[in-house]
Structure 1
Amino acid sequence: MNVHSREAELSRALRDGPFHHALRAAIEARGLALHRVRHRLAQRGINVGVTSLSYWQQGARRPARSESLRAVRALEEVLDLPADSLTRHLASAGGAGCERPASRSYQTLVARSDVLRGLLTELEAPLDGGLHTLDHWERVRIGPHRELLTRASQQAVRAHRDGVDRYLAIHHGDPGCAPASVRVHAEENCRVGRVRWHAGASVVVAELLFDTRLRAGETYVFGYAFEDGTGGESREYVRGFSFGGGQYVLQVCFDATALPVRCLSFSRASAAARPSHTQDLTLSGANRTVHLVRAGAGPGILGIGWDWD
C-alpha cells in the first residue's frame, strides 16, 4: 500500500472507527513498529507494554482505566494525529462492526483457571479470542473401560473483532489423563498449530489455524477432534461458554460393554456452582447414546453426567 492509500485509509478509520481499526491504521500509516511506539510513549513518562498495544490494535482489549486513557491521548501526539481522534471512539459503544454478545469470564467456568491462564500466556493469546459460537455440535465417545476416548466438534462462529485467524480449543481430561499423549486432529477448514498442556491439571490447549483472517461480523465453520483414552473413569462431560446466544448439541455415545445405569443433563452457572436444571435422559438402545440440545446456550456451563453403578 502506497503512502497516499495509507493516508486515505487512515482518514476513513479516524472518521468511522472503531478504535482498534483507527489505531492500527495510524500505526501503519506512520510506519512504526510497536516497540518504537512504546519507546516514544516512555519518553513522555508513559509505560505501556508492546503486548497491550498489540491487543489494543487487534480489538482484543479496550483501554478503559485512567492511565490507559492518558496513554491513548499521548498516542495521538506520538502518531501525529488530531486531538481526540482516537479517544472519541472510546467514548462510543465501539464503532462499527459486530457487537460482542453477553459474556462471562472464563475464570468462572474452569476449576483451574490459573493453569489455563498460564497456557494462554505461553500461546500469547488474549483472554477474548474474538469469536463467539453460533452453532456447536459435539460428539463424545466413552470406551469399554469407562474412559473418554474421543470428542469431536463441528463449530460455526462469528468474529466480533477484526483480524481473527485462529481458535484455541481446550480439552479437560478426566483424573489420570496423560495430556502429553492426547492427540489433536484438524478435520475441516483449519490446521493444528501450537499445542500446550499441563500434566497436573490434565489440560490441553490446541491452536487451530484458519486459512483466512476474519473481519468483525464474518462467520467461519471448522471441525476438530481430541483423541484421549488416557484418563480414568469418566462420569460427566461439560462445555463452558464464555459468550451467550449460540446453539449447542451434545451427544455422548457409550460402548456396548460399559453402559451407565442413569444419565442426566444439567447446567451450572460456574465451575464451583451446584448443577441445576437437571433432566433425566433415556439411553438409546440401538445407538447407546444420549444427547442434549440448547438454543441460546450460555454464558455458563452445560453438560451430561452419568452413574455407572
Structure 2
Amino acid sequence: MGEQTISRELAHVLRTGPFSAALHLAIESSGLRLEEIQNQLAAQHIMVSQTTLAYWRRGRSRPERPASLLAVSALEGILGLPPDALTAQLGPRRPRGRWLDHPPGTMEMTDVWSGAENLEGLLRAVDTPVHNHLYRVSLHDLFSLGPNREVVSLVTRAVVRATADRISRSVFVYHNDDAGSGLPTVHPVRNCRIGRTRSDPDEEFVVAELIFDRVLNTGETAAIEYETRFPSCITSNHYHRAFPAETGDYLLQVQFDPAALPARCFRYSRRREDAPDQGLREVWVGSTYGAHLVERDIPPGLVGLRWEWE
C-alpha cells in the first residue's frame, strides 16, 4: 500500500520511539489485522509469526537478527510508512544509567528547572522515571488566585497513552518559586491516587507518584485529575507548565478573583526556566476574570502565562 496520512501522535512516536509504540500505532492506523500483515509478509517470502509480531508490538522483544530487520523494512511498506521510519527506531542505544536515560527529543526535568540540584535525588527516592513510557495526549491546568493575589489551587486534568505494557503510574513535579514559604500538597480527584511523595529541605521541589486506577498496556489511555493546594501565604505573578517531552494539546486557564485583577497578562515559552522568553504576546483577561492559552504539539520546555498587577 502507499504511504498513509500519518497522525500527529504517530508522527511524534516515529521521531521519539520506542519501536514498540511506533509499530503499534502504525498497525492501528493501517486498520490491518496481524493475520493480514503476516500474509503480506509471506507474499514477499518473509516468514514472521503472528506471535512475533505481537511481541514486537508489545515491546516484549525487539527485532535484531538480519531476517527480522528485513521484515521491519517490509513492514514500513505494508503499513504505509516512509522508508526507515521503523528501522530508525532500532539503532544502537548509548549505555546510560536509568535516571539519565531518556528518549530522543525529550528533556530531563533536572535540565528544565534552574537550581535543580536536589531534584534528581527526589526522583530517585520516588523511583518513577519522568519518561515512563507515556505519551501525553492532552493536559489542562486551571490555576486559581484569591482576592489577595494569593495562589489558591491548581487543578490538572491529563490524558496519557501507554507506549509499553504494564504502565501503572506517572510522576508529578512542582517547582516552588518562593522557597521557604511552605510547599503545596497534591490530592487525587479522579481516576488516580497519590503514591510516594518527596520534597527537599530547601522547599524548592515536590515530587509525587500519580498511580492510575488500572494498569495500562500499549495503546491504552488513562484520564486522570488531581489538585495541588497551596499555603495561604504564597502569591504569584505567573504560572508555567514544564513539558519534559512533546505533548499533544495543552490548555492553561488562569482564574483571577474580581478583587484582584491584573493590569496586563502575557503568554510566553522558554526552553529552560532560566532561558529568555519566546513567543511573547499579550493575552486578554475576559469579563469573567479569566485568561487562557491553547497550544498544540508542544516541544520540551516551558509554556505559561504571567501578569502585571500594576
Mark the CA change 1:234 to 1:12 in structure 2 (over 3 Å): closer, same or farther: same
After superposition, give the CA deviation of every residue in 1:156-187 in whole Å (9 maximum; x if it has no partner): 111122221012112223314312xx332211
Q: Which residue of 1 aligns with 2:298?
A: 297
255 and 166 in structure 1: CA distance in 2 versus 1, 3 angstrom threshold = same
Question: What is the Cα deviation at residue 210 of structure 1?
Answer: 1.1
Q: Write the distance in 1 (CA, Å) between the matches of 2:96 and 2:300.
A: 31
Residue 177 of structure 1 corresponds to 181
User: What secondary structure does 1:146 align onto?
Assistant: coil
Q: Does 1:64 align with 2:65?
A: no
Q: Which residue of 2 aligns with 1:165?
A: 168
Structure 1 pair 198/150, CA: closer, same or farther in 2 (3 Å)?
same
Q: Over the residues paired in the alignment, what is the CA RMSD in angstroms?
A: 2.8
Asked if structure 1 preserves the Cα contact closer than 8 Å seen for 2:171 and 2:210, the reply is yes
2:111 corresponding residue in structure 1: 108
User: 1:177 is aligned with what amino acid?
Assistant: S
In the alignment, is the contact (CA less than 8 A) between 1:252 and 1:290 conserved in 2?
yes
Give the distance between the partners of 2:266 and 2:96, measured in 1 at CA: 49
Identity rate, percent: 30
* SS of the residue 1:117 aligns to: helix
How far apart, CA to CA, are the structure 2 residues paired with 1:15 and 1:191? 31
Code of the aligned partner of 1:220: A
Match of 2:122 in 1: 119
Aligned residues: 227
Q: How does 1:255-274 map to 2 (within 5 A)?
A: 255-274=257-276
Q: Residue 281 of structure 2 corresponds to which residue in structure 1?
A: 279
| Structure 2 CA distance for partners of 1:198 and 1:291, relative to 1, 3 Å | same
Q: Match for residue 213 of structure 1?
A: 215
* TM-aligned CA distance change 1:64 to 1:197, over 3 Å: same
Displacement of 1:201: 4.1
SS for the counterpart of 2:60 is helix
**Partner AA of 2:189 in structure 1:** E
Question: Where in structure 2 are there 5+ consecutive unaligned residues?
Answer: 1-49, 63-90, 98-102
Q: What's the CA shift for 1:263?
A: 0.5
Say if 1:244 and 1:296, in contact at 8 Å, map to a contact too.
Answer: yes
Amino acid paired to 2:234: G
Which residue of structure 2 aligns with residue 40 of structure 1? none
Unaligned ranges ≥5, structure 1: 1-10, 24-61, 69-99
Out of 207, 215, 240, the residue aligned to residue 238 of structure 1 is 240
Cα deviations by residue, 1:262-305 (Å, 9 ceiling, x for unpaired): 110011111221111011011112x2110000011222210000
Instruction: Provide the C-alpha distance between the structure 1 equivalents of 2:122 and 2:52, rounded to a whole number of angstroms.
Output: 34
Relative to the length of structure 1, the TM-score reads 0.66
Q: Distance in 2 between matches of 1:284 and 1:238?
A: 20
Q: Does 2:168 align with 1:129? A: no
The two structures have a TM-score, normalised by structure 2, of: 0.66
Which digits, 9 at most, give the CA deviation of each residue in 1:107-146, with x for residues without a partner?
3211233222111111112242221211111100012222
Distance 1:273 1:242, change over 3 A: same
Q: Is 1:177–1:202's contact at 8 Å kept on the other side of the alignment?
A: no
| 1:21 alignment partner AA | R
Question: Which residue does 1:147 correspond to in 2?
Answer: 150
Structure 2 CA distance for partners of 1:219 and 1:135, relative to 1, 3 Å: same
2:202 aligned partner = 200
Aligned AA (1:114): E
Please give the alpha-carbon distance, in whole angstroms, between the structure 2 residues aligned to 1:278 and 1:155: 25
Residue 173 to residue 67, structure 1, CA distance change in 2 (3 Å): closer
